[in-house]
Each structure stands twice: as structure tokens, then as C-alpha cells.
Chain A
Amino acid sequence: EPEVTQTPSHQVTQMGQEVILRCVPISNHLYFYWYRQILGQKVEFLVSFYNNEISEKSEIFDDQFSVERPDGSNFTLKIRSTKLEDSAMYFCASSELGIAGHGYTFGSGTRLTVV
């Protein structure tokens, strides 16, 4: 069964450093998403991406965050200058139709720890 692949599974970074989280969506999917879950809290929507541009973003997704599809297969989330509060599990997801009712396929997540 097709999978969404996220790398790395764990990343530790120093506060103020830039990090790039990588995702390979399912090949025929056109809609891509990032969610995050701070330990003990809800899974929160960050951003959706379609046709090489952001289609929707939450208030969490401020100027420190950016997304890119650099090569037609990868979908990346960059955090420009990490803060302690960015420590979380980050989930990538992709969708064929871009409608939540049809379900997403999620990756297994990247645990980011900012020290």
C-alpha cells in the first residue's frame, strides 16, 4: 500500500537553528499538508499546499515557517529559527482530492526536539 514517508524520524536541534523536515507524499496525490502535535496536546493543522502554493494556513504558521516542493517528489517544512516551543511531532499528509472527507494518508511523523 502506498505510504507517505517522513525523514528524519527524530531530530534534535539547537534553539535558533534552521531545520528542514522532509516528506515524500504518495506519487499521484496533489494536496499536501503539515500538522504538528506538541506533547500532550492536540494535533494541529499548520498548512495545506496545492499546485505549488499554500492554499490554507493556520495562525501557527507564521513567518518562521515555510513549505516547498523543491523537486516534484519531496515536500518540505522549514523552520527558520527554531524556538523551544517548536518541539513537537510533525506529521506530513497527502490527499488525492484535497477534501478531508475522503481521508488523508499520514506519514509516521518527525519528532523535533529543540534544546
Chain B
Amino acid sequence: AQSVTQLDSQVPVFEEAPVELRCNYSSSVSVYLFWYVQYPNQGLQLLLKYLSGSTLVESINGFEAEFNKSQTSFHLRKPSVHISDTAEYFCAVSGGPSQGNLIFGKGTKLSVKP
């Protein structure tokens, strides 16, 4: 069975500072990995995903995540955050090409302060 652990429930950070949101997973099979973001009063939006190939994946708004198989991690990073990045971030895993459902972590609330 797969599981996802997000170690930090809340991360406060000042604007323009770097941030890392941690995600570890456990799985006995190959996985696909995802980060979803939820802005206040909105649905879950796909931020980025790792399916195969390059272990470093990037989003259009400056976030990146690196798949580390040996450490079973998929941490999300941004070198300089904006106030508008304030949201809840969810790491998720699926069990591979034929799997339709996602297994989520508890989420990390990123709070960017001026």
C-alpha cells in the first residue's frame, strides 16, 4: 500500500525568502508523484507532476520538485516566494499507469508574510 507524509502542517515564511515543503512517500511499486495547490475557496489545482524521465520537474510559476528515489522524497521548492503563493499544498501519489485514484498527504499551509 502507498502512503504520503507531509511533515510540516504549516510553514510561515517572509516574502522573497526561499521555501521547501517536504513530502515523503512509501510504495512497493513505481509511482507517479504530484503536487496540488489549493488557494482559499478554490479547488485543488495540479501544480506539477513526476511521471518519468528527468527527476526535476518545474511549474510555470517558479516552483520545482525533485524526485529522489533513494530517499523516497518529492520535496517542493521555490527560491523566492510571493504573497500570492499563500495556499495549502498537497503532495499525492498514484500507483502507476493503470491507477486512477490518488493518495494524498495531509497538506502544508504556506503562509507568506510581507
Give the B-binding residues of A (Cβ under 8 A).
4, 6, 31, 33, 35, 40-45, 48, 55-56, 58, 91, 93, 95, 98-101, 103-109
Contact B44 A106 (CB under 8 A): yes
Extra A-B contacts (11), CB below 8 Å, given A43-B44, A101-B51: A42-B104, A43-B102, A45-B102, A45-B103, A93-B44, A100-B100, A100-B102, A103-B46, A103-B49, A105-B43, A106-B43
| Most chain A CB neighbours (cut-off 10 Å) among B32, B44, B96, B101 | B101
Min CB–CB distance B63 → chain A (angstroms) = 15
Give the A-binding residues of B (Cβ under 8 A).
4, 32, 34, 36, 41-46, 49, 51, 90, 92, 94, 96-107
**In the docked arrangement, what's the CA distance between A95 and B94, Å?**
14
Chain A residues within 8 Å of B42, by CB: 108
If the complex has contacts A98-B100, A101-B94, are A42 and B43 also in contact, measured as CB distance less than 8 A?
A: no
If the complex has contacts A41-B106, A43-B107, A44-B104, are A99 and B97 also in contact, measured as CB distance less than 8 A?
A: yes
Contact A106 B104 (CB under 8 A): no
**In the docked arrangement, what's the CA distance between A101 and B90, Å?**
15
Name which residue of chain A comes closest to B90, CB basis: A43
Chain B residues within 8 Å of A99, by CB: 97-100
Chain A residues within 8 Å of B44, by CB: 43, 91, 93, 104, 106
Chain A residues within 8 Å of B90, by CB: 43
**In the docked arrangement, what's the CA distance between A53 and B14, Å?**
48
Chain B residues within 8 Å of A106, by CB: 36, 43-45
Chain A residues within 8 Å of B97, by CB: 99, 101
**In the docked arrangement, what's the CA distance between A36 and B98, Å?**
22
**In the docked arrangement, what's the CA distance between A45 and B42, Å?**
19
Chain A residues within 8 Å of B106, by CB: 40-42
Contact B105 A108 (CB under 8 A): no
Chain B residues within 8 Å of A31, by CB: 100
Chain B residues within 8 Å of A107, by CB: 43
Contact A95 B100 (CB under 8 A): yes
**In the docked arrangement, what's the CA distance between A56 and B105, Å?**
20
**In the docked arrangement, what's the CA distance between A43 and B41, Å?**
16
Contact A101 B32 (CB under 8 A): yes
